Structure 1
């Protein structure tokens, strides 16, 4: 009888402890989501400020004069993924075509694999041997991609995401921070053309939408 009582007591204690654990986990997830949304808002604000500033804006003056905000998809943390990151230290530099005659020297720094809404995807992430010579960009990584929104909700030539070299074998890819190449706004810019290997056969309904002139 004593054993049964002790066992019953352990069950009650165990259930309470488990519930407490679940509550803490929910709070942790909620906090992560809140922080992510805050980061997305900051990204949008910074991008709008960049486009308003005549010294940094890619917009021709006729569009910049009345510019208020870029058109964004509503923030959605579904499109923020934790990807497995496999470095490719033996990859050789190659010349990535651009929208002009210029070519951009890049190297595949690593490959990100992840799941999004139940499907698995893979993307190459690049590093510029020239750009990393600048202290400001020594940890900079470049992720260009195509998806099924291109030419409709988003720019036909695809979009870019800026990343930082991670400390381990995972990397966060937040598609809410996807932005258009400058040549989407002004033809005077030379923009890297997204490699077809980085095509996602799904709609990425996050980040910057196409620019309406």
Structure 2
């Protein structure tokens, strides 16, 4: 009888743990990775209160039309500059190159930047930063624009995956200091890809 009770308790405990652990939401591996990070107390930019009720980020549906190959032009002898942020912090960046591509039948151009201090850290030597504004900002997507992280290309082209465009962390909590998207990186087109504006509800 005692053995039966113990087995029953173990079964109920296992069932409760299984039911309590919800599967990661997301249509792509990237979306699932982002949702996992936002659930993780050590990695999430969310406030503790918001994280407890967080289920998943709201993404535009994955669309291969937003996976584009851009022409890359390396620019040299650019003067490093202080990039404005949402706080008094002003990190040093340098314009690394220029990108030109066609998106939704429109000719587009963006500048891509390199963080002077970040590239000194191990693992970030090739890191490039692509902030941009598009015509979904303030409506479906975050009003302050979005970012794409990428790496230095080996040739004169670069693949841009706008499906992996993400919000600045200050979209989730005021404790973060986020670079303000330069006006020259405004796109006169709707980028219906990547993460949408954060809605706590």
TM-score when scaled to structure 1? 0.80
Match of 1:112 in 2: 99
Deviations, residues 121-160 of structure 1 (Å, cap 9, x unaligned): 1000000110010111101000000001001000000000
1:65 aligned counterpart, secondary structure: helix
Measured in 2, the distance between the counterparts of 1:160 and 1:148 equals 15
Matches within 5 A, 1:122-137: 122-137=109-124
Residue aligned with 1:137, SS:
coil
Corresponding residue for residue 200 of structure 1: 187
Find the counterpart in structure 2 of residue 60 from structure 1.
47
Aligned-pair CA distance for 1:83? 0.2
What RMSD in Å do the two structures reach over aligned CA positions?
A: 0.9
SS in 1 for 2:150: strand
**Pairing of 1:79-94 with structure 2 (within 5 A):** 79-94=66-81
- Alignment match, 1:145: 132
How do 1:1-213 residues align onto structure 2 when only pairs under 5 Å count? 41-213=28-200
Shift of 1:92: 1.2
Give unmatched runs, 5+ long, in structure 1: 1-39
Partner of 1:15: none
The 3-state SS of whatever aligns with 1:97 is: coil
| Dislocated runs of 4+, deviation >4 Å | none
1:117 shift after superposition = 1.9
Larger Rg belongs to: 1
TM-score by length of 2: 0.85
What is the alpha-carbon distance in structure 1 between the residues aligned to residue 192 and residue 95 of structure 2?
26
Question: CA-to-partner distance for each residue in 1:52-110, whole Å, 9 max, x for gaps?
Answer: 00001000011100211100000001111100000012111000000001112100110
CA distance in 2, matches of 1:88, 1:54: 40
**Alpha-carbon distance between aligned partners in 2 of 1:117 and 1:193, rounded to the nearest angstrom:** 25
For residues 153-206 of structure 1, the C-alpha deviation after alignment (integer angstroms, 9 at most, x for no partner) is: 000000000001111000001110000000000001000000000000111000
The structure carrying a bigger helix percent of its residues is 1
Q: Secondary structure, in 3 states, of the residue corresponding to 1:149?
A: coil
Secondary structure of 1:127's aligned partner: strand
